[in-house]
Copies of this chain bind each other. A is one copy, B any other.
Amino acid sequence: MKTFSIGEVAKELNLTVYTLRYYDKEGLMPFVERTASGTRLFKKSDIDALRVIECLKSTGMPIKEIKNFIDWCSDGDATLKQRYDMFMERKANVEAQIEELKKTMELIEHKCSYYKTALEAGTEEIHKNNKIGTSITP
């Protein structure tokens, strides 16, 4: 079976080898095998697992919690419920994050048009006697 070096995996996932070794140290990759002399041998499935880890990371999940999940995976079917619950919670969490970003977007877009108008007028003064709340400070 084809295997990959830590350098190859780092390139593939846009991570550094330092980061991968750090993840390993934190217990995120107990499944990665080694040669007799200690060099890591990554399988295709290990890279897939790392993609899942990156996915969880991108939801803002801290590494220690990701480790819990990895441990549950090693523990087998007894932890299916925990893992299901975890992903359901992640789902709700990501939905909330998207909503939050959409709210943020509204204010950002307001600022874009505020500055567009000001830029066209050459001065922010144009907004100064706007008292009806269409502008947001500053």
- Taking the nearest CB of chain B, how far is it from the CB of A91, in angstroms? 5
User: In the docked arrangement, what's the CA distance between A26 and B61, Å?
Assistant: 28
User: Quick one: given A77-B122, A136-B52, A138-B49, are A108 and B83 in contact (CB under 8 Å)?
Assistant: no
Neighbouring B residues of A94 by C-beta, 8 Å: 101, 104-105, 108
Taking Cβ atoms with an 8 Å cutoff, the residues of A that contact B are 45, 48-49, 51-52, 55, 58-59, 73, 76-77, 80-81, 83-84, 87-88, 90-91, 94-95, 97-98, 100-102, 104-105, 107-109, 111-112, 115-116, 118-119, 122-124, 136-138
CA distance A55 to B136 in the complex (A): 12
Q: Looking across the interface, which residue of chain B has its beta carbon closest to that of A50?
A: B137
Question: Do A83 and B52 touch (CB < 8 A)?
Answer: no
Judged by DSSP, the binding face of A is helix
**In contact, B124 and A108 (Cβ under 8 angstroms):** no
Complexed CA–CA distance, A95 and B124 (Å): 26
